[in-house]
Structure 1
């Protein structure tokens, strides 16, 4: 029970990483290449954990979100550049997730159009975000993480070759062709996403203020934060692993090699793995959307309100932080509207990946700089091991960004 109480921002951040758009990316990797991308979940975990720990520590030590730290210690153009790239990327991500949830709702209830489901889910999310206090929202998000456990059940409903699974998990099976590299870049962009950096730091501040401990940062608080982040990122990696495992065994072996959306993945599972596996997969998509969309809209709202110095916080009521909640509402409405102006969810995901890919390396470099700055972090600067993992993430994400730009614009 004590460990469950420790879990909070780290668990929610990790679980929200496996949103419907992430599920689509992992499903495509499994369908196209079988089990040969399973190893990415092992590689991604320590890099994700290291960066998210740095963001959380910045929030705890400075009592500011990542935007606040950027605003205080860096030129304004850096902050505005991040805002310029983050706003469209997060809105498109929200739009793709809402569309995915709507499409899966239509699969479960074919007589009701997907657009109706998308509107209903958006209204539900708006109501919950605006009217529930922070403590309730945090509890709901925390317990929604349990929905992701359905993806750990699905592979066991299908006969597995566990030796082949172990081999592909621990021995990278690299293929040097354009499509395989594009899938790897997509996986990296989905797992190490800039909006998670902002959310993690802001939520740590929110947690501390809620517990009235924002002036007391000690080794125990840092230790608890690391446990929370490690568990959250580990949980995210396990879910990612099992989605690739499911689609890599069921769809790939069943001859289904092209998956562009989550509803295609769910629909393809039905004849190959049975109704129960299909139902669990579909329910998981809706659950992860309800978890991830408040995180996406919340991170954008923290970015904008901290940039302009407006009142902010999920612990505040609507009349106390109108701008904060209005930004969240606008982001949801804009995301929903993408489905009505001809921007397909697949294109939205591609554009999102490009924008995330361009901003992630810059943000990781800034996070590393802040985390090693004694004037900002005092006695809580990075250890050598954290820096090693951080620089590995920086190099990998820079390589991914360059590759992504090459594949999209120069090839």
Structure 2
């Protein structure tokens, strides 16, 4: 039976959406929303082009990561453990863990502030409550039942698309402003670097690769492609569809967040946004309560999706690097270290979120760390994906290979720009 026929028999196109869709949606987490909102508030429509430029780069590196997981049956850190010097691997994974915890803190804090805007009450308690709920969902619910919930949460991002329909958008000006003019170029470059850094993030590489590898544990009819090459055509077709849809969805939402901030905040002289909840709060007097409520609801929804992805990707990376059992398909008693990392990173992020630390500083350092480690990680992923000794007959080649290396080189240029 053809791939299309088999997919239809198993439930149609919706069943082909999984790790790629969740990864793309998790990219628009509250800290990402803050960055996109600041870009729109500070520069109007002048950064919208970045959502178009980063799209093929995201698709390329995420597809390569997914290929590595599906072909080898192991996550990225498990493959790197076999081919990287141990000090290098430990350093990269440690930096990823730090960046993820800081991102968790920013996201959990933004969720608490967003719910305060919607309902009133103490944002600190809301933030701690969201952390506990996210942790319980990830630990208690078996992943085969949890995965559909994560997929459903991706729909919360449509709140940012809906927001555009309750504000006035000068579309003619939007298209004319895609090429920026008369901007403070130093500040503009810093913002472009921030947008790239929050869009192409290392935790997304680890999550999608690990989820592809774990498919074989959830579905016992699947095996690593090195052992079951007859499954390759169907697997790669699903990965292309899933990743393409997920990354397009992610960047469309980012486009609408920037568009909303540009059309409302920048147009009214509001150019400084400290976090995602600030953006929602600033919308209320300018665009009305409906726009602010939709924006705030989106922050809560995408935060509930992003928190388990951030904690899970950190746990996969650390557990695989030290060769201990990992996977959301395992029960907590069978993968204690893995679940302890999830719990520890989530709770530490929650404590940081209610501390006196400046959320802008946390986001800045998370972006710096992500930017610094993204280039060697992407280079390492490409080296692994193109090695016949690792991938066998399924080593990445052709246009995907060139796209993956192009993504790596662009990120290297972005990081160089940030450092300069």
TM range (shorter): over 0.9
2:401 is equivalent to residue 387 of structure 1: yes
Match of 2:195?
Answer: 187
Instruction: Check if 1:157 corresponds to 2:166.
Output: yes
| Within-5 A mapping of 1:186-265 | 186-212=194-220, 213-215=222-224, 216=228, 217-265=231-279
Residue from 290, 300, 305 that aligns with 1:276: 290
Distance 1:340 1:172 in 2: 38
Task: Give runs of aligned pairs for residues 36-47 of structure 1, distance below 5 A.
Answer: 36-47=46-57
Cα RMSD (Å): 1.4
1:403 is displaced (CA, Å) by: 2.3
Q: Which residue among 169, 174, 185 is the counterpart of 1:177?
A: 185
Q: 2:350 aligns with which of 336, 339, 345?
A: 336
Aligned-pair CA distance for 1:175: 4.4
Is the contact between residue 315 and residue 341 of structure 2 (CA under 8 Å) also seen in structure 1? yes
Deviation, 1:379, is: 2.1
In 1, the alpha carbon distance for the partners of 2:13 and 2:176 equals 33
Deviations 1:44-75 (Å, cap 9, x if unpaired)?
Answer: 11000000000000000110000011011222
The residue number in structure 2 matching 1:101 is 111
**Range moving further from structure 2, 8-17 or 384-393:** 384-393
- CA shift, 1:375, in A, is 1.4
In structure 2, what is the Cα distance between the partners aligned to 1:389 and 1:173? Answer: 29
Would you say the 8 A contact 1:36–1:174 is kept in 2?
no
How far off its partner does 1:176 sit? 6.0
Residue 100 of structure 2 is aligned to residue 90 of structure 1:
yes
CA–CA distance in structure 2, aligned partners of residues 128 and 23 of structure 1: 23
1:368 equivalent to 2:382? Answer yes
Q: TM-score, normalised by structure 1?
A: 0.95
| Structure 2: distance between partners of 1:249 and 1:340 | 32
Deviation for aligned residue 1:172: 6.1
- Does structure 2 retain, via aligned residues, the 8 Å contact 1:354–1:405? no
User: Helix, strand or coil: the match of 2:356?
Assistant: coil
Q: Choose from 319, 322, 338 the match for 2:336.
A: 322
- The 5 Å alignment of 1:347-362 reads 347-362=361-376
Please tell me whether the aligned partners of residues 38 and 244 of structure 1 are also in contact (alpha carbons under 8 angstroms): yes
Q: State TM-score, norm by structure 2.
A: 0.93
Q: Distance in 2 between matches of 1:391 and 1:319?
A: 40
Once the two structures are TM-superposed, the CA of residue 339 in structure 1 deviates from its matched residue by 3.0
For residues 259-312 of structure 1, the C-alpha deviation after alignment (integer angstroms, 9 at most, x for no partner) is 111111001111111111110000000001000000000000001111112121
Aligned counterparts of 2:210 and 2:353: Cα–Cα separation in 1: 30
Distance 1:2 1:317 in 2: 29
* Cα shift at 1:125: 1.0
Question: What are the ranges of 5 or more consecutive residues in structure 1 without an aligned counterpart?
Answer: 407-411
Q: Which residue of the partner structure matches residue 123 of structure 1?
A: 132
Contact 2:274 2:359 in 1 (8 A): no
